[in-house]
Amino acid sequence: MRVLVAPDSFKGSASASDAARAVAAGWRSARPHDTVIELPQADGGEGTLDAIAAAGSWRSHRVRVTGPDRRSLYARWICNENGSAVVELAESSGITLMPALSPVTATSRGTGEMLERALDSGVHDVQIALGGSAGTDGGFGLLCALGLRAFDSRGRLLDDATAGALDAVATVDATGLRPPPVGGVVALVDTTAPLFGPHGAAHVFGPQKGAGPAVRRYLDDRLRHWSDVLAAAGFTADPSTPGAGAAGGVGYALLCWGARFTSGADHVMRRSGLRDRIPGADLVLTGEGRFDDTSLNGKLVGRVLQECESAGTPAMVIAGQVGVDAPGHAVSLVDLAGTVDAALAEPLRWLREAGAASARREY
């Protein structure tokens, strides 16, 4: 058999790469003569860099940038021989980099600094994975890192490019803003949220960043003000564009910079080679931490299952917990381990067991 192992990450337990490796090892232990190909996936958020890098010839660049809490850190971006660069926001401005949640003070400046380094190297085009952001600054920090200057009502330059400083911004000067690369910028998004409003960045994603109701209203007001300031400066991006609210509003800032949006899951499936390999496979194993109704509504695992159905290729789901019936068959790590705590304590062990259990089924 020719088997493709293409999971998303198991949030908080295993990266997509580690999960794919463990499942593949389990399968090989039961069926050593099968051809098993590991193709870890991502939806445009955390793990996208690794998923794309694993499927081609990419050079990794490690650079020192400003972290979301304004402490410096090292982050990676990758580039191939054609000059295509991939930047992952979670590498430099991600929520997992924060010692404590603080959506008002977290900044996206580090992501802008990574883009600046990519531009300095002469890249032809950039793909930027949005997801897992720490802040809700509307891309204020990112644009400032790329040369935008912001001023208060007294004409003083503002250095604190965070959501908490947005209400102080009266005008911006974009004359120093670096142009995008000649091949353009593609933002990988997994949300349709606009910049502001009841379904915008602050209200939809604020809770997971530690923002209570009052803080969410505060952030939403500042994002609205931010879009007004940029519009007055001549930026024509529409803040109601689906995806403008991605990564705390960084999606909107990238629209202002000339980016276009695309589905993160679809992009990674294509760049990793999964989409082209599905028709020739005998079985595809995909999975994530929890498989439920949301999985079938645009999330990566659901998109993989749709691709398999279109190609007539059988598919199975391996998940920490399985909340709904899956097309084909599903294996739950909790069922194998006996309890949630046991599954979380040794996720790679139970992923290997799930791979072996899947291989022992009759095909």
pLDDT tens per residue, range 36-66: 999 999 988 888 999 999 888 999 999 999 9
- Region at 144 (left for phi over 0; alpha for psi -120 to 50; beta for the rest): alpha
3-state secondary structure of 349: helix
As a dihedral over the C-alpha atoms of residue 167, residue 169, residue 174, residue 176, rounded to 10 degrees, the angle is -110
Cα separation, 87 vs 132, in Å, equals: 13
Sign of torsion, CA 224 230 232 235? negative
pLDDT of 355 higher than 70: yes
pLDDT of 363 higher than 90: no
Cα separation, 153 vs 38, in Å, equals: 55
At 219-240, the pLDDT tens digits run 999 999 999 999 999 999 999 9
pLDDT for residue 298 = 67
Q: What is the DSSP string of 76-143?
A: EEEEETTSEEEEEHHHHHBGGG-SS--TTT---HHHHHHHHHHHHTT-SEEEEE--SBS--STTHHHH
**Helix (H) or strand (E) segment spanning residue 285:** strand 283-291
For residue 51 the two structure tokens come to 């998923």
Rg (CA), the chain: 21
CA atoms within 13 A on the CB side of 42: 29
Range in 85-99, 126-140, 271-285, 313-327 the model is least confident about: 313-327
* CA distances from residue 298 to 86, 190, 201, 266 in whole angstroms, order as listed: 22, 8, 18, 10
**Which residues have C-beta within 8 Å of that of residue 261, sequence separation ≥ 6?**
186, 187, 189, 241, 242, 243, 251, 255
Residue 342: Cβ-neighbour burial (10 angstroms; 0-12, 13-18, 19+): middle
CB 247 within 8 A of CB 192: no
pLDDT for residue 296 = 77
Cα separation, 148 vs 140, in Å, equals: 9
CB 335 within 8 A of CB 3: no
CB 329 within 8 A of CB 283: no
Nearest-10 crossing angle of helices 347-359, 16-30:
40
What the chain holds in terms of domains, given with CATH numbers, is 2-41+274-360 (3.40.50.10350), 48-264 (3.90.1510.10)
pLDDT for residue 328 = 78
For residue 236 the two structure tokens come to 């024509």
* Percent of the residues in the chain that have a pLDDT greater than 90, as a whole number: 89
For residue 272 the two structure tokens come to 């990793």
Pairing of strands 35-38, 2-5: parallel
At 123-136, the pLDDT tens digits run 999 999 998 999 99
At 283-336, the pLDDT tens digits run 999 999 999 877 877 689 999 999 999 999 999 999 999 988 877 789 999 999
**Helix (H) or strand (E) segment spanning residue 149:** strand 149-151
Full strand arrangement of the beta sheet holding 72-80: 58-66, 72-80, 84-88, 125-129, 185-189, 260-263
CB 22 within 8 A of CB 356: no
CB 79 within 8 A of CB 120: no
* Percent of the residues in the chain that have a pLDDT greater than 70, as a whole number: 100
